[in-house]
């Protein structure tokens, strides 16, 4: 399978088979990237239009019962200053987000026994909705009843990243994580959330957990195709490891991150692609024409926007692109990309 054949297949706008996406990722190189980026940009314009939505994370707690070795929130990190926000503090954070002009709010935290934060998650979702923001839900151990209740309140986006689609690597990494040690269970959660009322499902891989990014690309295409077939709108995120306490896990080269996004756009032209503020600004600028969900204005410690403390002691990882939502909007305007409130595509 040569590159010209894969380009031709992608340019038809009908996407690529997962094995072709893997082949494309493996064959793309620095010389080919600009041409591939042009194809990906045209596909985005044709199938999604010149539109993007902004999102940001609202961490309600940095306490966690899991022990992921690449994460500062790991229960084994005794240095981290732990904090769970109360509803009033969450409201202040949500108001600060509203003021910044970002409309999609990922409610997120470390993982706790469900009973410890269920009510707070539900109340936070109601609160975020009442402020005219869109709550996106990213918690990994919620029961069916809670998921249903959240969708009945009006939450429409459920996110859960598999992190790695290699079951063996997953098993090794998560053997000590109480709520994360079942690969198949986690894989099924997106479709279950769809069945329980969430029309939009976010999936993703954490780049840097393993070297074979092509395998992650192939698997994520298969996962996305499955979710699309059952009727879900799908968004895909490929955040790269940042600030891992365990040095075995390293950030991939920015060229590989760029290749991964371009490959996904060519393979899945009408699926939403999300780009995190953890990536560098120059890489993000090159990828803005390819993606359609853009992280901005984030902080990774609970209360980081409104409380006064040393964020380095309580954050999950440092963000790289620290440009404000207004600056990002003006960069997008220069690219003739219109910012809209809620854009998730997938079918
Ligand atoms: S990645 Fe998530 S589950 Fe794992 S330690 Fe960090 S916050 Fe906890």
Q: What pLDDT digit, counting tens, does each position of 304-320 carry?
A: 999 988 888 999 988 89
C-alpha separations of 65 from 179, 180, 225, 268, 328 in Å: 8, 10, 32, 35, 35
Q: What whole-number distance in Å separates Cα of residue 211 and Cα of residue 190? A: 25
Comparing 251 with 125, which gets the higher pLDDT?
125
What tens digit of pLDDT does each residue of 35-59 get?
Answer: 999 999 999 999 999 999 999 999 9
Q: Which atom of ligand 1 is nearest to the CA of 71?
A: 6
What tens digit of pLDDT does each residue of 69-81 get?
Answer: 999 999 999 999 9
Comparing 198 with 345, which gets the higher pLDDT?
198
Average confidence (pLDDT) over 236-261? 93
Q: Which domains does the chain have, with CATH numbers?
A: 3-339 (3.20.20.70)
Q: Which two tokens stand for residue 340?
A: 């809209």
Average confidence (pLDDT) over 201-229? 97
Q: What are phi and psi of 202, to 5 degrees?
A: -105, 130
Mean pLDDT of the chain: 95
Percent of the chain, pLDDT > 70? 99
Q: Which atom of ligand 1 is nearest to the CA of 180?
A: 3
What tens digit of pLDDT does each residue of 254-284 get?
Answer: 999 999 999 999 999 999 999 999 999 999 9
Q: Is the pLDDT confidence value at 119 over 60?
A: yes
Average confidence (pLDDT) over 164-179? 93
pTM (predicted TM-score)? 0.96
**Residue with CA closest to ligand 1 atom 4:** 68
What tens digit of pLDDT does each residue of 288-309 get?
Answer: 999 999 999 999 999 999 998 8
| Placement of tokens 């539109």 in the chain | 51
Count other C-beta atoms under 10 Å from residue 117's C-beta.
21
Q: What whole-number distance in Å separates Cα of residue 269 and Cα of residue 275? A: 16
**Residue with CA closest to ligand 1 atom 7:** 110
Where does ligand 1 bind, in terms of residues with CB under 6 Å? Answer: 64, 66, 68, 71, 73-74, 110-111, 180
Which pLDDT value is given to residue 344?
A: 61
Average confidence (pLDDT) over 215-227? 98
When pLDDT is cut at 50, 70 and 90, the band that residue 346 belongs to is: very low
Count other C-beta atoms under 10 Å from residue 176's C-beta.
14
Q: What whole-number distance in Å separates Cα of residue 111 and Cα of residue 220? A: 23
By the 8 A CB rule, do 68 and 177 touch? yes
Q: 33-47 and 3-11 helices cross at what angle (nearest 10)? A: 20
Q: Which atom of ligand 1 is nearest to the CA of 65?
A: 8
Which pLDDT value is given to residue 146?
A: 98
Contacts (Cβ under 8 Å, ≥6 apart) of 338: 50, 51, 52, 332
């Amino acid at each position: 399978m040569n590159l010209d054949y894969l380009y031709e297949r992608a340019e038809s706008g009908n996407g690529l088979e997962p094995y072709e996406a893997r082949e494309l990722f493996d064959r793309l190189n620095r010389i080919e990237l600009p041409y591939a980026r042009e194809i990906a940009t045209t596909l985005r314009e044709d199938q999604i239009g010149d539109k993007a939505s902004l999102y940001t994370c609202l961490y309600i707690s940095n306490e966690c019962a899991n022990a992921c070795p690449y994460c500062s929130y790991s229960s084994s990190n005794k240095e981290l200053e732990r904090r769970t926000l109360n509803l009033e503090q969450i409201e202040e954070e949500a108001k600060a987000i509203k003021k910044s002009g970002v409309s999609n709010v990922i409610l997120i935290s470390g993982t706790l026994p469900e009973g410890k934060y269920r009510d707070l998650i539900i109340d936070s979702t109601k609160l975020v909705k009442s402020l005219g923001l869109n709550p996106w839900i990213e918690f990994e151990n919620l029961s069916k009843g809670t998921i249903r209740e959240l969708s009945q309140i009006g939450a429409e986006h459920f996110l859960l990243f598999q992190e790695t689609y290699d079951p063996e690597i997953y098993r090794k990494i998560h053997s000590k994580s109480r709520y994360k040690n079942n690969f198949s269970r986690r894989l099924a959660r997106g479709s279950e959330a769809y069945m329980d009322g969430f029309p939009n499902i976010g999936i993703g891989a954490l780049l840097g957990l393993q070297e074979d990014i092509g395998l992650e690309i192939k698997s994520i295409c298969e996962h996305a195709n499955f979710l699309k077939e059952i009727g879900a709108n799908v968004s895909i995120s490929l955040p790269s490891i940042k600030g891992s306490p365990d040095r075995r896990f390293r950030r991939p080269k920015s060229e590989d991150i760029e290749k991964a996004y371009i490959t996904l756009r060519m393979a899945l032209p009408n699926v939403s692609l999300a780009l995190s503020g953890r990536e560098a600004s120059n890489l993000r600028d090159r990828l803005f024409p390819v993606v359609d969900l853009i992280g901005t204005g984030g902080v990774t410690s609970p209360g980081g926007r409104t409380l006064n403390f040393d964020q380095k002691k309580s954050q999950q990882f440092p963000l790289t692109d620290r440009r404000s939502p207004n600056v990002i909007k003006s960069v997008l305007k220069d690219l003739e990309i219109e910012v809209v409130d809620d854009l998730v595509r997938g079918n």
